[in-house]
């Protein structure tokens, strides 16, 4: 057995149980074996960097491996959430709906557009939006109500229908 092998084996025998207990206390038994294995794999690759005593260094490595696992899990969850939102509806339908709203907005007066944009896109309260427009909050609420009604009417006439994509395989057969 080489010196490196015997040093590693000795370090593993001395510290494995304590590293495992540390990981279990932080993340539970389900991930402990995997994190401990990764910790000692790193220790083997960087054996020359492992100081004496090795335990504090190994616990630091285990902590970093745990942190990397948590980050990876957060990324996976974020990706799954993003994919879920895409799966909830047809992207083309979402684009068509957005185009319908934009088309309806374009048909409104400048004043109506401004009122709707201040509340919907800029997320201002009626009081704050009234300050921007230069009217009382009560007057702004009336204008907002009327602008929403006109937008609703414009939406009924401005529905954007997406063009049907031709099926080329049907045409060629």
Is residue 167 a part of any domain in this protein?
A: no
User: Do 98 and 82 fall into the same domain?
Assistant: no
Write the CATH number for 69.
Answer: 1.10.1740
Q: Where in the sequence is the domain holding 100, given as residue range(s)?
A: 91-157
151-160 pLDDT tens trace: 988 888 865 5
CA distance 84 to 100: 24
Rounded to the nearest integer, the mean pLDDT of the chain is 84
**Residue 151 CB burial class (10 angstroms; 0-12, 13-18, ≥19):** buried
Is residue 162 a part of any domain in this protein?
A: no
Decide: 133 and 118 in contact? Cβ < 8 Å: yes
User: Do 61 and 44 fall into the same domain?
Assistant: yes
The whole-number pLDDT of residue 77 equals 87
Nearest to 35 by CA among 65, 76, 61: 65
Q: Which residues, given as ranges, of the chain have pLDDT below 70?
A: 1, 83, 86-91, 158-173
Is residue 171 a part of any domain in this protein?
A: no
Q: Which of 29, 60, 87 is the last residue of a domain?
A: 87
DSSP secondary structure, 36-54, as one string: HHHHHHHHHHTGGG--SS-
User: Do 81 and 100 fall into the same domain?
Assistant: no
The whole-number pLDDT of residue 60 equals 93
The whole-number pLDDT of residue 165 equals 45
The whole-number pLDDT of residue 147 equals 93
Q: Which residues lie closer than 8 Å to 54 by C-beta, 6 or more apart?
A: 11, 14, 15, 43
User: Do 80 and 18 fall into the same domain?
Assistant: yes
- The dihedral built from the CA positions of residue 86, 87, 93 and 97, taken in this order, carries a sign that is negative
117-131 pLDDT tens trace: 898 888 899 999 999
């Amino acid at each position: 057995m080489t010196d490196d092998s015997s040093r590693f084996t000795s370090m593993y025998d001395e510290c494995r149980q304590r590293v495992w207990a540390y990981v279990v206390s932080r993340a539970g038994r389900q991930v402990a074996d995997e994190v401990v294995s990764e910790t000692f794999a790193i220790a083997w690759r960087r054996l020359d960097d492992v100081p004496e005593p090795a335990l504090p260094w190994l616990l630091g490595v285990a902590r970093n491996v745990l942190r990397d696992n948590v980050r990876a899990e957060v990324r996976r969850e974020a990706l799954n959430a993003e994919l879920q939102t895409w799966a909830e509806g047809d992207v083309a339908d979402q684009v068509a709906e957005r185009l319908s709203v934009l088309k309806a907005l374009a048909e409104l007066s400048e004043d109506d557009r401004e009122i709707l944009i201040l509340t919907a896109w800029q997320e201002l309260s009626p009081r704050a939006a009234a300050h921007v427009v230069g009217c009382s909050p009560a007057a702004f609420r009336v204008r907002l109500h009327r602008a929403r009604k006109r937008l609703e009417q414009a939406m009924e006439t401005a529905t954007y229908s997406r063009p049907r994509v031709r099926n080329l395989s049907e045409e060629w057969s």
